[in-house]
Chains A and B, each alone.
Chain A
Amino acid sequence: MRSTITRSNRTRRGFGPLVATSILGASLLGGAPAWAATALIPCPQEEGGEDPEPADPEEAAPEEEVEVTEEVTAEAEAPPAPPIAIRAARVILRPGKSIENAIVLIEKGRVVAVGPDVVVPEGATIVQGEVVCAGFMDPWSIAGVESGTARSSSSSASASAADVIDPYGQEDVLDELVAAGVLMTRSQAASAANISGIDAVVRTAGPDVVVSEAALSAAVGVTRGGFNQFGPQQFPGNVRFAPRGLDPIDRVGQIDRLMGNLASGKKYGNDLAKFKKAHAEWEKEIADKEKELAKDFKKAKKARDKKVADAEKKGEEVKDKKYKEDRRPRAPKLDPDKHAFSRVVNGELPLVISANRALEIREILSLTKPYPRVRLVIAGGTSALACASELSARGVPVIVTPSPANPGGAVGDLDPGLSLCAELDAAGVEVLIGSGGSTALASRDLALLAALAVGHGFDREAALRAITSGPASVFDVGRSIGTVQRGRAAELLVLSGDPLASSTRVLAAISNGAVVFEAGE
């Protein structure tokens, strides 16, 4: 039963390639660096700007797996490489399902065969290992983002992390990530900002941008450097540079502003949809009128020529007939930030809100209710357990960063510490494990974080899912990473043992169809 609503939402959410339906699409994409993948933007099929009825769980077929079409660029991008055949004692097809003594064959960036009796073509690169599994994906990272921008506290909703991916400055970090098996990240810029902007899914081995618009991320209660007032305000010296403390009123204010953004995004989206509709009608009317006029073109031309000649004779101006079709519908004033939020409101982009306190999470859940298509993701969620039933009912995933630090502090008794993953999972909440972007290198330790959660009660398969297929499906890259499956893109790891074992080493990493890492002796 769990996350039925999400699934039904997803089945209802249609995707189609972007065919200039967005007046902003071009400008948003135009900013992407030349080496970025030419990602198609998923966009909803025409909805007429109306909010759909809340998804009815009954309506959704209880499908085992919901396929979400998303952008896969491997075919266009794959470099010509020889086939790769991986021989392993165990192939983990997806968390919970594995086969023994199998071969995985990769051609042109895709897995073309998996099984015990796969015929290895001549000239194929052979890779041997104990275990094959999907590459890890960090759903909460700053990896690849230019270091200054990653920590920035000023950003806007339309700012795109894909624009600030720094393949040169971040090279060493990304190499370590690949060597640790972290082949994709959802990377956000401006991690200290209340609204960070639009995140990118980054393929660490490229590095390249797999999805340039993966989610819109925001945060509640981020403390950051700034001038802090202390002591009585009438004394001008009472200001120092220190992390700005945020009181509960500040944080509620942040939530209110965020929700205000959703409201104006919704209005903008509606206006835009109205305009698009009116524009389409107008174009049709023009076409109809032109057709009508063309029918009697010769007659009309003769009549007009005569009219012009008569007017000249009389020294008068020619007055042409006014057509109502001449009035062109006006587009709403261009606002990239509102546009970004309008796309959140209609479910094109997930909305990732970093929030830890129970009160804030509850507030976010309650205030996002009027937007049934918003794909909410909570990041952090230290005290999310208090809202577990609603998170579960609404299918809101939580990205947890397991931390060995003792629980307690500001959030006190509501903080279950390292058993958070286990307890959220037991309450039916979808748990993803992310490094939290404390540093770019933090993503490297993703498998250890997952293991730590397992050591504190989290189910082993759920933990593997939380760093592979889970993030892939939440951020719409399920076809690019997360499983070992025929026809899917080859983002795979060859390991010396179980993916979560301490002693396991990454023997090889395959990304975008090529061996991008091999362990040295």
Chain B
Amino acid sequence: MMIDRQLKMATTLHSPERPARFGRRSRFAASALLAGGLFVGTAGAQEAVAAESFALRAKVVHVGDGTTIEGGVVTIENGKIKSVGTDVPNGVRVVDVDGHLSPGLIALRDTTGAGSENNESTRKVTPTADVARAFDPTHPAWAYLLHEGITTVVLTPSSSSIIGGTAAIVSPASGEVVKRGALMTLGASSRSISTSVEPTSYAGLYSHLRDAFAGAKADSALSKVKAGSMPVLIEAISRHEVVQAVSFAKEMGLKGAILGAPRAVDAIEMLKDAGLAVVFEPVAVGQTRFAALSALALEKAKLPFAFTSDSSSDGAASMRMTAAWFMRAGLDGKTAMAAMTKNAADIAGVGASHGTIAAGKVADLVVWSGSPTELTSRVMRVYGGGKLVHEPSMNSASSVTGAKR
């Protein structure tokens, strides 16, 4: 009976006319319902909208690769993008959105809702662990990500692991696992070293890494990594750690990105040589300028980079804040946009289905009150797989008075 109720709720929540509300008063309740509904009711909801095709017409469509279309029209059918242009195909219902439309933003690390289920705390090397199993689509905090326009995240093992296992691409918007075993995460920073579990030194860390790579069984995830068919995210923070990690990746022929590296500016040539991208962690207010200088250097060297959102520690808004912070330091808005969409999808290995507004891709779309790279822009609507999954009620605070409390 409970499931029936949730299913019903899911269908009503997901129809474009009855969006989930994200008001202040009801936020926690609504988001829990939203996520809960998604979890149980995805199949039913999909059926409910399967036949529907509609078009979104926006002031500006940000494709995700840096280009924009004024007065762009995006047609959606069966949860996928059918066409992108400026004309409305015949017989398609048009929804005019008073704002900018962008692909859903993609974060390269977020562990919201995983609790500590992504952390095998007594063992540092667990290459067969599948973090998708730690994904809890009912966790209410996923709503915070939607509220910041983030529709896809890489759910990673804990930073304290050395080989924590395979990360999963999950969607806070649809509650689905987009891709299991998408990337292998390697911890090559001091965060992976403790005094209680071996290794207890940086040298020991690399010894464990090498042993694991040498002993990788055929057809295992680690062998795919060695063959270059599964990308890696290598966590490395200090300059020294980055140099070590990049050398290791080059030696082993790994493809993927260095995660962290606020001072990547000092390792541009190495990164270029190894063909590695960079994933920046959120820059907290008052931090030094190195991360921004690194982003500028990567932009100049035409190396791709992306961001983590780390919303459980830094807050979901920190991703766009970091991008804005880089822009304030001189980063081009197009590069910032691509870093949160196209480049992020490419680094995560889901560029074929996510990251841009293009025919055939999943219709994860966000309506903003202005340009998505402006911090002053608000999220007005979020579509996950073509369904309206989030519409904040507090577009203006005028209806809310603290006096009533």
Q: How far is the CA of A419 from the CA of B374 in the complex (A)?
A: 17
| Interchain CB contact under 8 A, B24 and A419 | yes
Range for the number of chain B residues in contact with chain A: 35 or more
Residue B196 interfacial (CB < 8 Å): no
Q: B397 near A422 (CB under 8 angstroms)?
A: yes
Tell me the smallest distance from the CB of B336 to a CB of chain A, in Å.
Answer: 8
B167 to A: closest C-beta gap in Å: 21
Contact B394 A457 (CB under 8 A): yes
From A102-110, A156-164, A347-355, A400-408, the one touching the partner chain is A400-408
**A426-B400 contact given A444-B286, A505-B330, CB 8 Å threshold:** yes
Interface string of A426-439 (1 = CB under 8 A from B): 11010000010011
Return the CB mask of B328-363 against A: 1 if under 8 Å, else 0: 101001001000000000000000000000000000
Q: Which residues of A contact B313 (CB under 8 A)?
A: 405
Q: Are B376 and A501 in contact (CB under 8 A)?
A: yes
Stretch at the interface among A231-239, A270-278, A306-314, A385-393: A385-393
- Within 8 Å by CB of A404, from B28, B318, B333, B394, lies B318
Complexed CA–CA distance, A448 and B287 (Å): 13
Q: Which of B285, B317, B378, B405 contacts A457 (CB 8 A)?
A: B378
Q: Quick check: A452 and B286 within 8 Å, CB to CB?
A: no
Is A423 an interface position by the 8 A CB rule? yes
Is A13 part of the contact surface with B, judged by Cβ < 8 Å? Answer: no
CA distance A442 to B140 in the complex (A): 30
Q: How far is the CA of A500 from the CA of B373 in the complex (A)?
A: 12
- Quote the shortest CB–CB distance from A150 to chain B (angstroms): 12
Hey, which chain A residues are within 8 Å of B324, CB to CB? Answer: 448, 451, 502
B30 within 8 A of A: no
Q: Are B144 and A406 in contact (CB under 8 A)?
A: yes
Asked whether any CB of chain A lies closer than 8 Å to the CB of B316, the reply is yes
State whether the Cβ of B172 lies closer than 8 Å to any Cβ in chain A: no
Q: Determine if A45 is an interface residue (Cβ-Cβ < 8 Å).
A: no
Most buried by B among A392, A416, A424: A416
The answer to whether B374 touches A502, judged by C-beta atoms less than 8 angstroms apart, is yes
Residues from chain B with a CB closer than 8 A to the CB of A176 are 289
Contact of B252 with A by CB under 8 A: no
Q: Which of B230-245 contact A (CB under 8 A)?
A: none
Interface pair A406/B286, CB less than 8 Å apart: no
> Does residue A65 face the partner (Cβ distance < 8 Å to B)?
no
Q: Cβ of A458: which chain B residues have Cβ within 8 Å of it?
A: 397
Residues of chain A within 8 A (CB-CB) of B336 are 502
In chain A, positions 409-425 with a C-beta closer than 8 Å to chain B are 413, 416, 418-419, 422-425
The answer to whether the Cβ of B321 comes within 8 Å of any Cβ in the partner chain is yes
Give 1 or 0 for each of A478-500: 1 = CB within 8 Å of chain B CB: 00000000000000000000001
Given contacts A424-B402, A460-B376, A505-B330, contact A440 B286 (CB under 8 A): yes
Among A423, A454, A455, the one with the most B-chain Cβ atoms within 10 Å of its Cβ is A455
CB-based contact B403/A388 at 8 Å: yes
Residues of B within 8 A of A442 (CB): 285-286
> Looking across the interface, which residue of chain B has its beta carbon closest to that of A501?
B374
- The residue that B317 contacts in the complex, of A389, A418, A438, with Cβ under 8 A, is A418
B315 touching A405, Cβ below 8 Å:
yes
Q: Are A454 and B402 in contact (CB under 8 A)?
A: no
Which residues of chain B are near A443, meaning CB under 8 Å?
Answer: 286
* Chain A CB within 8 A of B189 CB: no
Residues of chain A with a CB closer than 8 A to B314's CB: 404-405
Q: From the candidates B282, B323, B401, B405, name the one contacting A426 in the complex (CB within 8 A).
A: B401
A363 to B402 alpha-carbon distance, docked (Å): 17
For residue A503, CB closer than 8 A to chain B, the reply is yes
A442 to B314, CA, bound (A): 15
User: What chain A residues lie within 8 Å of B284 (beta carbons)?
Assistant: 438
B315 near A452: Cβ-Cβ < 8 Å:
no
Residues of chain B with a CB closer than 8 A to A503's CB? 327-328, 333, 373
CA distance in complex: A387, B313 (Å): 28
User: What residues of B have a CB within 8 angstroms of the CB of A501 in the complex?
Assistant: 374, 376
B277-295 to A contact mask, C-beta < 8 Å, 1/0: 0000010111111000000
Say yes or no for A456: interface residue by CB 8 A criterion: yes
**Chain A residues with CB under 8 A of B288:** 441
- Cross-chain contact B325 with A451 (CB below 8 angstroms): no
Q: Are A427 and B402 in contact (CB under 8 A)?
A: yes
- CB contacts under 8 Å to B, within A466-521, are 500-505
The count of residues in chain A whose C-beta lies closer than 8 Å to any C-beta of chain B is: 50
A404→B141 CA distance, assembly (Å): 13
CB distance from A438 to the nearest CB of B (A): 6
Contact A500/B285 with A426-B398, A427-B403 known, Cβ cut-off 8 Å = no
Indicate whether B312 reaches chain A with its CB closer than 8 angstroms: yes
C-alpha spacing A422/B336, complex, angstroms? 27
Query: Any chain B CB within 8 A of the CB of A171?
Result: no
> Does B395 touch A at the CB level, under 8 Å?
yes
Q: Are A454 and B376 in contact (CB under 8 A)?
A: yes
Query: B396 an interface residue at 8 Å Cβ cutoff?
Result: yes
In the complex the two chains form, is B373's CB within 8 Å of A445's CB? no
A422-B328 contact in complex given A386-B402, A386-B405, C-beta closer than 8 Å: no
Q: B289–A451 contact, CB under 8 A?
A: no
Centre residue among B282, B318, B320, B405 by max chain A CB count within 10 A: B405
Instruction: Decide if A364 is an interface residue (CB 8 Å cutoff).
Output: no
B328 near A404 (CB under 8 angstroms)? no
**Chain A residue contacts of B401, Cβ below 8 A:** 388, 426-427
Complex CA–CA separation, A392 to B313 (angstroms): 33
Q: Does B377 contact A (CB under 8 A)?
A: yes
State whether the Cβ of A210 lies closer than 8 Å to any Cβ in chain B: no
Give the CA-CA distance A506 to B252 in the complex, in Å.
45
> Cα distance A274–B221 when bound, in Å?
84
Q: How far is the CA of A406 from the CA of B313 in the complex (A)?
A: 8
B394 partner residues in chain A, CB cutoff 8 A:
419, 422, 457
The docked-state distance in angstroms from the alpha carbon of A505 to that of B296 is 15
In angstroms, Cα B288 to Cα A449, docked, is 16
Q: Which chain A residue shows the least CB distance to B371?
A: A502
* Interface mask (B229-273 → A, CB under 8 Å = 1, otherwise 0): 000000000000000000000000000000000000000000000
A456 pairs with B400, CB closer than 8 A: no
Is B24 a contact of A404 with CB atoms below 8 Å? no
Question: In this assembly, does B43 line the interface, its C-beta being within 8 Å of a C-beta of chain A?
Answer: no
CA distance A180 to B330 in the complex (A): 12
Q: Which residues does chain A contribute within 8 Å of B301, judged by CB atoms?
A: none
Which residues on B sit within 8 Å (CB–CB) of A403?
285, 315
Q: Which of B286, B317, B318, B377 contacts A441 (CB 8 A)?
A: B286
Report whether A448 and B328 are in contact in the complex, using a CB–CB cutoff of 8 Å.
Answer: yes
Known: A405-B315, A413-B28. A457 touches B328 (CB 8 A): no
Q: How far is the CB of A42 from chain B (nearest CB, A)?
A: 32
A interface residue numbers (CB < 8 A to B):
176, 180, 384-389, 392, 403-406, 413, 416, 418-419, 422-427, 429, 435, 438-445, 447-449, 451-452, 454-458, 460, 500-505
Given contacts A404-B316, A406-B315, A441-B286, 4 further A-B contacts (CB under 8 A): A444-B286, A452-B375, A458-B397, A504-B328
10 contacts between A and B (CB under 8 A): A406-B141, A406-B316, A418-B317, A419-B24, A426-B398, A426-B400, A426-B402, A429-B402, A502-B373, A503-B327
What residues of chain B have their CB less than 8 Å away from a CB belonging to chain A?
A: 24, 28, 141, 144, 282, 284-289, 311-318, 320-321, 323-325, 327-328, 330, 333, 336, 373-378, 394-398, 400-403, 405
9 cross-chain pairs, A with B, having the tightest CB-CB distances, nearest first: A388-B402, A442-B286, A404-B315, A404-B317, A422-B397, A451-B375, A389-B403, A439-B286, A426-B397
